[in-house]
Amino acid sequence: MSDKKIDKNKLIRKLSKEDLERLEILQKSEEVKGEQLSIGLDLEFVAENQAEILLGQKIDDPVQKFQLYYHGLSRLLKESLPKGKEFEEGRRIFYDEKNILINRGAKKDEKGIRGSDGRMAYIEDLEEAIKIVAEWSGRKGTPAELFLAFWDKNEELGYGHQD
């Protein structure tokens, strides 16, 4: 930045009417801390406290996500799905279907990149996946039945499936 002082009077004389209106909005916004300034339907300035708005919304809890993903969903699946090298491809196919659900339909691209991380899934999606696994486990179902439960849920939600 230069050390030149800006002559506000000169600046204001050079500004168009629209520029002056923008400047007025910016100056008013400096007066309002922690609030969002917008223009209401009657063209009046309206200040909304963003903290109060956020308090009314559900905010994901990172600790709860960690618990649900690792100590809930992942643990249940590791304990329930067939182990060993010979079942590795089947587990991958299953995990792809499960990941489509918890990532709200995100599929891997041709390079194998999903572009979404199941560990950061919405809590309600993780809870839905755990519910599916718990119901399946309670019935003592087969791995194929669990796969189909995820398949059906993805169909219901219109997410599709991994190619």
pLDDT over 60 at 133, yes or no: yes
pLDDT over 80 at 72, yes or no: yes
Q: Comparing 32 with 82, which gets the higher pLDDT?
A: 82
Average pLDDT rounded to a whole number, residues 119-143: 92
Amino acid symbol at 22: R
Four-CA torsion 65, 71, 77, 82, nearest 10 degrees: 150
- Which own/partner contact pairs does 87-95 have at CB distance under 8 Å and 24+ positions apart? 90/143, 93/147, 93/162, 94/143, 94/146, 94/147, 94/150
- For residue range 25-52, what is the model confidence (pLDDT) as tens digits? 777 666 655 555 556 666 666 656 555 5
Answer yes or no: pTM beyond 0.75: no
Phi, psi dihedral angles at 50 (to 5 degrees): -65, -30
Among 118, 147, 122, CA closest to 64: 122
Which helix (H) or strand (E) is 149 found in, with range?
A: helix 143-157
Among 125, 116, 115, 107, CA closest to 64: 125
Residue carrying structure tokens 């796969």: 147
- For residue range 110-120, what is the model confidence (pLDDT) as tens digits? 999 999 999 99
* CB 125 within 8 Å of CB 101: yes
